[in-house]
Amino acid sequence: MNILVCDDDREIVEAIRIYLENEGYTVLKASDGLEALQIIESQPVHLIIMDIMMPHMDGLRATIKIREEASIPVIMLSAKAEDTDKIMGLNMGADDYMTKPFNPLELIARVKSQLRRYTTLGSLEFRDSVYQTGGLVIDDESKQVTVDGEEVRLTPVQYKILRLLTANAGRVFSIDQIYAKVWQEDAYGADNTVAVHIRRIREKIEINPKEPKYLKVVWGIGYKVEKL
C-alpha cells in the first residue's frame, strides 16, 4: 500500500512517514499540490494525506484535481481548528480530516478506516500495471494491448478509454463519466464523441464489432468491459 504524504513542513512529513512505515505502508513524499499530482500520475497511490495550506497549489485545489482524475481517499491535515475549514475540505472531496497537532494512533486508525472502506467499495484507481479480462490484456507500463496474445495498436484516446473500463471491469461507466475521466473535465463535446471512439475500439479488439465480447453497452446507462 502506497501512501502519499503531502505537506510543506518536512518535519511533519518525516514524523508521519515513521508512523506509517511502522505499520508496513510505503510512504511517498510531496511538498506541494503540483508535486502530488505528478506523483499520482507516475505511480500507484492508495491514499493521500494532505495539508490544506501549501505553496504553489494549495491542498484543497489539489484535492479537487485529484478527485477529477482518480478516486483516491484523501485525509486532510489542517493547522487551523476552525469548523469552516473542516467543512470545506469535506465538501470538496476529502474523505476525512485531522487538525494539527494530532495523535499518531489516531492517524493510523483513520488511515486504516479509509483503506478498509476503499478496498471494500472497489476503486477507480489503477492500482496494478497489468489489467486483464478474458483474452484482453493491458500492460500499462509498456502501454501494450493484446487480444488473445495478438498485439493491438490503439490511439491515445482509445487506450485511455479501454484502460479505464478494463481496470474497472464489470463496472458500468456512463458516457458523461467516461468523458470526465478521459478528457479534462472541461467543456462538453458532441454527444456521440464517446460512441465513435467505442466503435473504433471495438473494430480493433472485437472479432465482430456488432456482437462485442468485451466492450459492451448497457442500454440507457453506459458502457463496460465484461469481467471475464
Contacting positions for DNA (CB under 7 A): 153, 155-158, 175, 183, 189-193, 195-200, 202, 209-210, 217, 219-222
129-168: which residues touch a copy of itself (CB under 8 A)?
Answer: 139, 141-144, 155-156
Q: Which of 117, 119, 148, 199 contacts a copy of itself by CB under 8 A? A: 117
Contacts of 135 (CB under 8 A, 6+ apart): 147, 148, 149
Nearer to DNA, 175 or 180 (CB): 175
Asked if 110 interacts with a copy of itself (CB under 8 A), we say yes
Query: Rounded to an integer, what distance in angstroms lies between the CA atom of residue 40 and that of residue 70?
Result: 9
Residue 101 touches which of DNA, a copy of itself, none (CB < 5 to 8 A by kind)? none
The amino acid occupying position 12 is I
**Least CB distance from residue 182 to a copy of itself, whole Å?**
12
51 grid coordinates: 495539508
Q: Give the other-Cβ count within 10 Å of 199's Cβ.
A: 12
Q: Which helix (H) or strand (E) holds 191?
A: none
**Least CB distance from residue 118 to a copy of itself, whole Å?**
8
Number of residues that bind a copy of itself (CB under 8 A): 40
User: How far from 218 is each of 62, 137, 195, 212, CA to CA, in Å?
Assistant: 33, 22, 13, 12
